[in-house]
């Protein structure tokens, strides 16, 4: 395809991604589509690890109305922080793979189930910085689980399935560091302090994760940057009435979003440098811009089928300006304080019209939102790098189940 042709395409298509020289050389080296995905991360990508990690302490993901929009036919059921599928579930379906199984389920079964298209190491609530909260799971923990898993696979005398997928696997690290900030905010840390004290530590560890995966043989590494947390009802709700803050034109807290923007800018710089030094062995680092992908949806809700009248209204929640109360959340019940010392018992077991809502439970998003973000990702929109790279054009994707 000539450059002129691409330029013309660019005029007519929304996504104006011209291939960089890196993309061109990559494509001429006959790119092999990923045969498997190894997933890391937090509740954005967790397909059940959190549930298995704490048996007997069932997370609310098993309570109605979690999972009300999609029926998973596998044995673990829904087990996700949404009303239905997550971004990684749509990725699995587009590539024609089974849903990525939680690693804890895999190890329970001695790796006898189908792992040939990947495994999920993500845990809800995972941080990047080790042990800085009550949550015991952090990024390096997930990586170490992956390294153990790989060792077990490679040393298994009779692997039930061939290991040829390992060299053509993609490794996905989405939006890590988000929870480090959430926990800090809920402990009263200000956005300014978060930038100075938390950001440098977590950034360093995310970059280190990419380096470790590369050193272990990963050749397609996908890193998603941080979503705009200042648009989350969980961040916005406590701000109301306490301080005016600075809100952007759509109502997000700009001082919180700025934290994510600073993180993302530095992450981009570090990953671009790594990509340069990995060129020699053909490693591809894909940078996906979660921040602007989510901002696009928040800014133009109607364009994606969402009700624009309250773009931050939580689908499954209770009370306040966003239908959100951090004391009793979706799928749970309890007593919430009202004004003048009164209290009310609530049982949050209804969620009307999840397809019209962007926000699911105040922290996580609806399946409908995840579908839009997954579609962006698969069609190369909001790629920071490499520009012009597009799974939809390169791989044989199937969108029929979307």
Ligand X SMILES: *[C@@H]1O[C@H](CO)[C@@H](O)[C@H](O)[C@H]1NC(C)=O
Binding site for ligand X (CB under 6 A): 56, 58, 62-64, 130-131, 331-333, 347, 349
Residue written as token pair 């959340």: 329
Q: Compare residues 347 and 401 and give the one whose CB is closer to ligand X.
A: 347
Q: Compare residues 284 and 329 and give the one whose CB is closer to ligand X.
A: 329
Give the shortest CB-49-to-ligand X separation in angstroms: 15
Give the shortest CB-93-to-ligand X separation in angstroms: 25
- Rama region for 319: left / alpha / beta (φ>0; ψ in -120 to 50; rest): left
Give the shortest CB-76-to-ligand X separation in angstroms: 10
Helix (H/G/I), strand (E/B), else coil: 355: helix
Contact in structure between 402 and 96 (CB atoms under 8 Å)? no
Helix (H/G/I), strand (E/B), else coil: 124: coil
Q: What is the DSSP letter of 228?
A: -
Cβ-based neighbours of 385, under 8 Å, separated by 6 or more: 20, 22, 268, 271, 272, 275, 285, 286, 287
Nearest Cα residue to 357 out of 307, 396, 290, 401:
307
Give the shortest CB-77-to-ligand X separation in angstroms: 8
What does the alpha-carbon distance between residue 230 and residue 247 come to, in Å, rounded to a whole number?
9
What does the alpha-carbon distance between residue 31 and residue 268 come to, in Å, rounded to a whole number?
23
Nearest Cα residue to 261 out of 284, 295, 237:
295
Q: Compare residues 321 and 334 and give the one whose CB is closer to ligand X.
A: 334
Give the shortest CB-52-to-ligand X separation in angstroms: 11
Q: Compare residues 113 and 349 and give the one whose CB is closer to ligand X.
A: 349
Q: What is the DSSP letter of 128?
A: S
Q: Compare residues 82 and 253 and give the one whose CB is closer to ligand X.
A: 82
Give the shortest CB-350-to-ligand X separation in angstroms: 8
What kind and span of H or E run contains 82? Answer: none
Distances (CA, A) of 33 to 238, 242, 328: 44, 50, 43
Give the shortest CB-127-to-ligand X separation in angstroms: 11
Give the shortest CB-332-to-ligand X separation in angstroms: 6
Q: Compare residues 124 and 275 and give the one whose CB is closer to ligand X.
A: 124
What does the alpha-carbon distance between residue 236 and residue 231 come to, in Å, rounded to a whole number?
7
Q: Compare residues 132 and 307 and give the one whose CB is closer to ligand X.
A: 132
What does the alpha-carbon distance between residue 276 and residue 281 come to, in Å, rounded to a whole number?
10
89 CB neighbour count, 10 Å cutoff:
23
Residue 84: asked if its preceding bond is cis (omega within 30°), the reply is: no
Q: Compare residues 12 and 345 and give the one whose CB is closer to ligand X.
A: 345
Give the shortest CB-58-to-ligand X separation in angstroms: 4
Q: Compare residues 138 and 370 and give the one whose CB is closer to ligand X.
A: 138
């Amino acid at each position: 395809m000539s450059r002129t042709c691409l330029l013309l395409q660019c005029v007519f298509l929304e996504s104006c991604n011209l291939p960089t020289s890196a993309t061109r050389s990559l494509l001429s080296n006959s790119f092999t589509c990923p045969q498997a995905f190894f997933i890391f991360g937090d509740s954005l990508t967790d397909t059940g690890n959190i549930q298995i990690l704490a048996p007997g302490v069932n997370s609310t993901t098993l309570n109605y109305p979690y999972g009300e929009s999609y029926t998973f036919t596998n044995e673990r059921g829904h087990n996700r922080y949404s009303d239905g599928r997550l971004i990684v579930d749509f990725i699995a379906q587009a590539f024609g793979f089974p849903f990525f199984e939680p690693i804890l389920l895999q190890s329970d079964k001695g790796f006898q189930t189908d792992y040939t298209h990947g495994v999920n190491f993500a845990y809800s609530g995972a941080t990047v910085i080790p042990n800085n909260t009550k949550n015991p799971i952090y990024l390096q923990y997930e990586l170490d689980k992956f390294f153990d898993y790989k060792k077990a696979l490679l040393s298994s005398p009779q692997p039930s399935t061939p290991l040829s997928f390992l060299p053509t696997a993609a490794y996905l690290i989405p939006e890590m560091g988000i929870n480090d900030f959430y926990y800090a905010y809920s402990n009263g840390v200000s956005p300014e302090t978060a930038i100075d004290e938390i950001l440098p530590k977590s950034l360093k560890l995310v970059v280190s994760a990419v380096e470790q995966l590369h050193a272990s043989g990963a050749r397609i590494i996908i890193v998603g940057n941080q979503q705009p947390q200042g648009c989350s009802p969980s961040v916005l709700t406590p701000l109301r009435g306490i301080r005016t803050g600075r809100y952007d034109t759509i109502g997000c807290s700009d001082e919180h979003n700025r934290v994510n923007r600073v993180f993302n800018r530095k992450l981009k710089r570090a990953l671009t440098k790594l990509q340069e030094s990995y060129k020699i062995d053909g490693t591809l680092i894909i940078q996906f811009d979660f921040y602007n992908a989510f901002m696009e949806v928040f800014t133009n809700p109607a364009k994606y089928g969402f009700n624009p009248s309250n773009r931050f209204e939580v689908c499954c929640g209770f009370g306040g300006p966003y239908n959100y109360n951090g004391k009793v959340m979706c799928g749970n019940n309890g007593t919430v304080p009202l004004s003048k010392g009164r209290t009310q018992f609530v049982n949050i077991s209804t969620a009307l019209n999840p397809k019209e809502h962007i926000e699911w439970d105040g922290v996580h998003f609806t399946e409908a939102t995840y579908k839009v973000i997954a579609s962006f990702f698969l069609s190369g929109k909001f790629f920071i790098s490499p520009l012009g790279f597009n799974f939809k054009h390169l791989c044989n994707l199937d969108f029929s189940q979307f």
